[in-house]
Amino acid sequence: METQPARPLAARRPSTPLAGEIAVPGDKSISHRALMFGALAVGQTRITGLLEGEDVLRTAAAMRALGAEITRDGGDWLVSGRGIGGLTPPEDVLDMGNSGTAARLLAGILATHDFSSVMTGDASLRKRPMGRVIEPLKASGAVFTAREGNRLPLTIQGARDALPITYRLPVASAQVKSAILLAGLNARGITEVEEPEPTRDHSENMLTHFGAQVKVTQAGRGRMIRLTGQPELRAADVVVPGDPSSAAFPLVAGLLVAGSKLVINGVGLNPLRTGLFDTLREMGAELEIRDFRIQGGENVGDIHVEHTALVAVDVPAGRAPSMIDEYPVLAVACACARGVSRLRGLSELRVKESDRLAATAAMLRAGGVRVEIEGDDLIIHGSTQPAGGGLVETHMDHRLAMSALVFGQATREPMRIDDASFIDTSFPGFVALMRRLGADISVP
């Protein structure tokens, strides 16, 4: 497996406000799922706006290796599917690169196909635990062989006569929920997943879009999802909206740099993904959604944002599933806000690309900000102009790298990162887009 050379960068407070009208790349979560469901459907699916980042391209390569035909047609992608249960054994190891989403969702698909396969990933992904999907998927009849700690490489012997799964998630996780639902597609009977808190529901939306029978009901504070197995999924075109997790970076930069005024067009506004926008508004952010519309079953709108003097916030743990990927850049906003912020219930961050909770705290400390971790809470003592001047170790984590570069737009002294090479896994062209807006990002 090739290792990319490290690419250090430095970010400085720009001499002029950030300004412009932009679009961010397609939603990563929806892009992964569009390729997977298209490969499991009968007929040809056209995907418009697919994120062409490294993570999603790994999913495309994996689905090709499993027998689907996937081609690029101008700016769109075409997927000719194999139907439920119709995937074929791969001839080689499936390398999922840096993508935990791709690896965990694909484990669900492979668990109920009667052949053996092996998944691996880059150094970062091989450190991440897979036990949270392995345990429930075993109930389908699949057999898993992993390294110590349930880590990749992972061998999967799919079930011959797959059983439906009934499972209550111990911790809210859209990835685990989706893996179980994907396994349930090729099992007779009803697969049931109960989640303690509602998590992003792109899988449920897309299953319905492709013709599966999915029933979602309230279950206490969470939801129960029931899927009828072995449907005939029908090819269905997908329009991928802009990724709200990617929009978060220019959005927060616009809030922090004096005089800035930005428009981010065509952003996905799924109500289970908009926790960051709600939180920033609580901090006083000048943030407005215009031209709200529905595209391919998903809410979409244009975000207008202006520089704002932010105030501290106390974020409840229950909001975490709706903004789990946005905490590093929210932490940057809190570091530049007046007062002490507390971000609660962040245990899920410990099993991301890095221990994202510890790494986020280290990033802020490198910028001269006082930070504490109490249990699973992050406490940030904000300053309207943090000192900066530090070097951030990114731990091969694309969101941490982008957050640090946003942080550098607001600190007195530049912020440096050790490696930006992994940013393209989720946001190809990020640095060029930020420079176009007026951000000062350069090679140190």
List binding-site positions for 3-phosphoshikimate: 28-29, 33, 173, 175, 325, 352
Segments of 186-331 assigned E as strands? 190-195, 214-219, 222-228, 238-239, 261-268, 286-295, 298-306, 314-315
The catalytically annotated residue of 55, 122, 325, 419 is: 325
Question: In the structure encoding, which two tokens stand for residue 3, read together?
Answer: 């290792």
Alpha-carbon distance of 434 to 275, in angstroms, equals 23
Question: In the structure encoding, which two tokens stand for residue 436, read together?
Answer: 């176009």
Alpha-carbon distance of 86 to 42, in angstroms, equals 10
Return phi, psi of residue 381, to 5°. Answer: -95, 100
Say how many Å lie between the first and final Cα of the chain, rounded: 28
**Among this protein's residues, is 397 annotated catalytic?**
no
List binding-site positions: 28-29, 33, 100, 128, 173, 175, 325, 352, 356, 399
Find the farthest-apart pair of alpha carbons in the chain and give their distance in angstroms, rounded: 64
290 CB-contact burial (10 Å; exposed 0-12 / middle 13-18 / buried 19+): exposed
CA torsion sign for 270, 273, 276, 279 is: positive
Alpha-carbon distance of 261 to 239, in angstroms, equals 28
3-class DSSP state for residue 200?
A: coil
List binding-site positions for phosphoenolpyruvate: 28, 100, 128, 175, 356, 399
Q: Is residue 364 within 8 Å of residue 387, measured between CB atoms?
A: no
Residues 6 or more apart in contact with residue 72 via CB below 8 angstroms: 78
Residue 444: is the preceding peptide bond cis (ω within 30°)?
no
Residues catalogued as catalytic? 325
